[in-house]
Amino acid sequence: MSESDERRQQIKFKAVAALAAKERSRLGLFKKLSDQFEEPGDAELINSVLDELEKRKYLSDERFAKSQVMIKNSRFGDQKLRWELRRQGVSSELADEAIRENEVSELDRARVLWERRFGEPPQDPKERARQVRFLVYRGFSFRTIEKVLRCRLDEEE
């Protein structure tokens, strides 16, 4: 076995171990492996290993996107989920598809999160701004935030 083949086997072993621990995007796994294998030529070996893992369905950005949306959907809005997926190297199309397939609407998620955090409508503009910031930071659209706060105000009256 040549030195290159040995190196490839080491990379493959680390890649499979990393995927066994948790689902990863191609970019995320590439970064993890690049931190461990820094010799000249390792980047090409890493890419060839990742290509093989994708062919064998061990590595899938689509599966990663769906799992991330499922894990994080109760805490974040669509914008934050989309941003997180893009940051991890998932294509816009796959990110949008995973978010679209989410069974819980953004409005329902925002309502649950708002209810858990605040429970009552804002009494003054300062409190309203605080509640809006909370939901904006978590990636909910302004339209969704307005619906949540308007609905809560209507219930109070």
pLDDT score of 157: 46
Residue 23's SS3 state is coil
Structural domain containing residue 47: 3-59
Asked if residue 84 and residue 37 are part of one domain, the reply reads no
Q: What is the pLDDT of residue 152?
A: 55
Residues 80 and 94 in one domain: yes
Both 126 and 140 in one domain: the answer is yes
Tell me the C-alpha to C-alpha distance, in Å, between residue 69 and each of 75, 82, 128.
Answer: 10, 9, 28
How confident is the model at residue 1, as a pLDDT?
A: 67
Q: Are residues 115 and 92 in the same domain?
A: no
Same domain? 110 vs 92: no
Helix, strand, coil shares, percent, the chain, to 5: 75, 0, 25
The per-residue pLDDT for 27 is 96
pLDDT by 10s per residue, the chain, length 157:
677 889 899 999 999 999 999 999 999 999 999 999 888 888 999 999 999 999 999 999 999 999 999 999 889 999 999 999 999 999 999 999 999 998 889 999 999 999 999 988 888 999 999 999 999 999 999 999 999 998 755 554 4
Shared domain check, 118 and 94:
no
- Give the tens place of pLDDT for each residue, 38-66: 888 889 999 999 999 999 999 999 999 99
Residue 149, helix vs strand vs coil: helix
- What's this model's pTM, rounded to 2 decimal places? 0.85
Quote the CA–CA distance of 118 and 115 in Å, as a whole number.
5
Q: Please indicate, yes or no, whether residues 68 and 55 belong to a single structural domain of this protein.
A: no
Number of domains in the chain: 3
The SS3 of residue 52 is helix
Report CA 70 to chain centroid distance, whole Å.
9
Shared-domain flag, residues 7 and 54: yes
Query: What pLDDT, on a 0 to 100 scale, did the predictor assign at position 4?
Result: 80
pLDDT tens digits, residue range 137-148? 999 999 999 999
Burial group, residue 126, by CB count within 10 angstroms (0-12, 13-18, 19+): exposed
